[in-house]
Amino acid sequence: LSERLSGVFDRLTRQGALTEDDVRTALREVRVALLEADVSLPVARDFIKRVQAKATGSAVMKSITPGQQVVKIVHDELIATLTGEGDPGKLKIDNPPAPILMVGLQGSGKTTTTAKLARRLKDREGKRVLMASLDTNRPAAMEQLAILGTQIGVDTLPIVAGQTAVQIAKRAKQQATLGGYDVFLLDTAGRLHIDDVLMDEVQAVRDVAAPRETLLVVDGLTGQDAVNVAAEFDGKLGVSGVILTRMDGDGRGGAALSMRAVTGKPIRFVGLGEKTDALEVFDPQRIAGRILGMGDIVALVEKAQETLEVEQAERMMKRFQKGQFNMNDLKGQLEQMMKMGGMQSVMGMMPGMGKMSKQAEAAGFDDKMLRRQVALIDSMTRKERANPALLQASRKKRIAKGAGLEVSELNRLLKQHRQMADMMKKLGKKGMLKQAMGSMF
């Protein structure tokens, strides 16, 4: 499949510009890729439409091929769709004891996932966790959770025969409060299919437990079906997040995309095996790669990104070699630094800059400062940026105000620029610039 995709993109590569037809051809293959990854049809269609609009509207970047550009747009859009609000790994568990309700169809992996989550909360966050099985349908279900509890060293609510799910939920809440637990996880019963009995029961449980999180556990291999299940559960219960299980299998992860597109609910975790440590925080990047067929596509995207950066760096370098270094150049530098993980790491890479990097650290240079400096440069006119020596006191005041900062900060930036411009000149003369820049880009 990814071969077929690369084929189309290779064909695109040989053409100069990106026409609407090119985009359409490429996207036809992307659509097939999505469907093969088990993305539901309407979701795939919708996704393609969005990308088509974006791709056709965007100007072709110079040094990457049109094909690479389409891949990049597809990839970026996938990640944007997959990404939910907030940190997926962070559960609402303040205000102890915090109830977490686990719901889903039978066999989706609820009980296993309950144990996985309990283990994670205990080991990673040091929480005191209680688990309770409300599965009164299958006699072995409560046993199953108790055994898992023993394995991972997490308490389970003692089993009392003959109680209803609601009664058990009440008891769990009591026990969690009395026992000083931080979190209690309620593992509910599932059915093979959604039915009213199941929904009524879970709703009643939800009403007594008042969960901080209602997590829907869905089998990631079920594709299209998973979406219907999610929509139903969310409509009836109000789900706060989704956990996709069996993502260790052969499935291509399309359920994740459908889930996000249809329910809008954040995917919080993925299950990657039967063991209690096989749970990971959802990573949109990884799933996006998987949906597209992985490896070469992701490499293509990275290459495209790299090429763009190199092109930029080369342009800058040419100017520096001529001893030119204005405010725009400085801005480019500052932005590059932010992208590359901040001041310290960049300076550390440049020869002879190690000492300066330490001084910078001592002087309180940090990434916030980089952003403030970029804001200052943004408030200058084009002429001023090209020749900062033009700046009069009154303009300086206005610029600082425009960026919401003090004039002293602007003066500091101007001084820094002068020093850097001087250095560029010297380095340029000695031919050392290439060397220094080489280690940076």
Q: Taking CB under 6 A as the rule, does residue 106 contact ligand GDP?
A: yes
- Residue linked to tokens 């340029």: 428
Q: Look at the block and give the residue holding tokens 């084929």.
A: 7
**Residue 274 touches which member of ligand GDP, Mg ion, none, C-beta under 5-8 Å by kind:** ligand GDP
Question: Residues 127-156: x/- map of binding to Mg ion (CB under 5 A)?
Answer: --------------x---------------
107 is in an annotated binding site: yes
* Binding partner of residue 258 among Mg ion, ligand GDP, none, CB cut-off 5 to 8 Å per kind: none
108 interacts with ligand GDP by CB under 6 A: yes
Which of 66, 84, 104, 388 binds ligand GDP (CB under 6 A)? It is: 104
Sheet architecture: strand order including 155-156: 155-156, 129-133, 183-187, 98-103, 213-219, 241-245, 267-271, 279-281
Q: Contacts by 383-390 with C-beta closer than 8 Å and gap 24+?
A: 384/327, 385/326, 385/327, 385/328, 385/331, 386/326, 386/327, 386/328, 387/326, 388/326, 388/327, 388/414, 388/417
Task: Compose the 112-151 pattern: x for residues touching ligand GDP by CB under 6 A, - for all others.
Answer: x---------------------------------------
Alpha-carbon gap, residue 278 to 244, rounded angstroms: 12
CB 272 within 8 A of CB 280: yes
Mask: binding to ligand GDP, 245-264, rule CB under 6 A, as x and -? xx-x----------------
- Residue 70 binds which entry of ligand GDP, Mg ion, none, CB below 5-8 Å type-dependent: none
Residue number with CB closer to ligand GDP (91 or 244): 244
Q: Which of 6, 111, 156, 240 binds Mg ion (CB under 5 A)?
A: 111
Q: Which stretch binds ligand GDP (CB under 6 A): 99-107, 206-214, 305-313, 328-336?
A: 99-107
> Which residues line the annotated binding site?
104-111, 187-191, 245-248
Q: Which residues bind ligand GDP (CB under 6 A)?
A: 104, 106-112, 190, 245-246, 248, 271-274, 278
